[in-house]
Amino acid sequence: MNLTIKNVQKKYGDTEVIKNLDLEIESGELVSLLGPSGCGKSTTLFMISGLEPITSGQIFFGDEDVTNLSADKRDIGLVFQNYALYPHYTVLRNVMFPLLNKKIDKATAEKQAMEVIRAVKLEDHAHKKPGELSGGQQQRVAIARAIVKKPKVLLLDEPLSNLDAELKVKTIMEIREIQKQFGITTIFVTHDQQEALAVSDRIVVLDRGVAQDVGKPNDLYRKPANSYVANFIGSPNINLFESEIIDGKIQGLEELIDGQIKIEDGLYEIGIRPEAFYLDANSKFTIDPTSREILGRDILIYAKIKDVDMRLIIRNISENNLDENNNFKVKLEDVLIFDKETKMRIDHE
């Protein structure tokens, strides 16, 4: 089922939380709503669920306008941040609950529930209460409960934020697998870019109620719409600084970047990702590192370049090796240039 959000706006009193959001999600797609807390991502999710009324605009599931349908009539699956499992019911009863409410007979409901419980690999725990399960298992029960009724849309509200790092990675993969297996159109709300990058077909970056960018994970990383998105996506953060570009050369970084930037002379906001730097003995560009951090295989270097504190990540290198080499390069295509006023990215190739 494809999903269309048309010009949706949400106001609490005079505060505009969502400003004219437009979004098309294709059938079977997994789209993340990514943004810092307070950006309106959960509000958007709850508006799609019908639990939160919208101020203006329309929401369509397929061709059906569901804008004025209440949550119980929208046929959605919703997974809450804190799972919200019914603590007095067993896992099986939790998963059966939506089916029984739809007046499906008990035997059929039990059969369908068990199928989904098997899909989330909890068949050994079907008769336990949620309190007896680990966080990750509870999360899977919540997912099973959400998908058992074969919803048109599956909505996940920060489903991983209560899990520890190791479990997160595992659960991300499981969610992805289940979502593919059932082919459910899914919206995934998160503040964690790594989760979003790992799991999504496309990502919507939200900030202060405005969709800053919509795109595939790799496109958001390589060609962000603006410097806000460039800064939000990628870890550690991109190096952002203002600089004059004259004759296609960033002033002070002439030796760092080969080739000419095809852009008018002027003052721009420049973005270079830490991992865009690489060692090149032929380069005349050297730095004066202030400190280093060993990240296992890679090394993170802090240095002042053009009076700006920058981060450089050099891949696959030992400290000794780095002591002997201090000549760096950045490829022209890895330089992001943004308009100083509008912050929008400008193509320069």
Partner 1 sequence: MNNKTINGSRRAYYFIAPALILITIFTIYPIFNAFYLSFQDPRGNLSLSSYEYVLTSSVFWKAVKNTLIYAVVVTPISLSLSLVISYMLSLKIKFQNTFQTMYFLPYVTSTIAIGSVFAMMYHTNYGVLNGILTSFGLSPIGWLTDPKYSMLAVIIFGIWKSLAFNILIMFTALQGIDENLEKAALVDHASSLTIFLKVKVPQIYPVVAYLLVIDLIYNFKVYEEVVSLFKGNAGIDNSAMTMVYYIYQQFYTIHDFSLAAVGAVMLLIIVGLLTILNKFVSKRLGGN
Q: Where does this chain bind partner 1 (CB under 8 A)?
A: 49, 51, 70-72, 76-78, 80, 82, 84-88, 97-98, 101-102, 145, 149
Q: How far is the CB of 87 from partner 1 (least distance, A)?
A: 7
Q: Beta strands 3-12 and 15-25: pairing type?
A: antiparallel
Q: Which lies closer to partner 1 via its Cβ, residue 133 or residue 245?
A: 133
Q: How far is the CB of 143 from partner 1 (least distance, A)?
A: 13
Q: How far is the CB of 62 from partner 1 (least distance, A)?
A: 19
- 58: tokens are 């329309």
- Name the DSSP letter for residue 344: B
Q: How far is the CB of 23 from partner 1 (least distance, A)?
A: 21
Q: Which lies closer to partner 1 via its Cβ, residue 86 or residue 170?
A: 86
Q: Which lies closer to partner 1 via its Cβ, residue 59 or residue 76?
A: 76
Q: DSSP string covering 56-98, please?
A: EEEEEETTEE-TT--GGGS-EEEE-TT----TTS-HHHHHHHH
Q: How far is the CB of 167 from partner 1 (least distance, A)?
A: 21
Compute the distance between CA of residue 21 and CA of residue 5 in angstroms, rounded to an integer. 7
Under 8 Å between Cβ of 1 and 151: no
Under 8 Å between Cβ of 22 and 211: yes
Compute the distance between CA of residue 297 and CA of residue 275 in angstroms, rounded to an integer. 13
- 17: tokens are 């939380």
Q: Which lies closer to partner 1 via its Cβ, residue 83 or residue 228?
A: 83
- 77: tokens are 């699956």
Q: DSSP string covering 129-184, please?
A: -GGGS-HHHHHHHHHHHHHTT--SEEEEESTTTTS-HHHHHHHHHHHHHHHHHHT-
Q: How far is the CB of 97 from partner 1 (least distance, A)?
A: 5
Q: Which lies closer to partner 1 via its Cβ, residue 85 or residue 312?
A: 85
Q: How far is the CB of 94 from partner 1 (least distance, A)?
A: 9
Q: Which lies closer to partner 1 via its Cβ, residue 45 or residue 203?
A: 45
Q: Which lies closer to partner 1 via its Cβ, residue 36 or residue 87?
A: 87
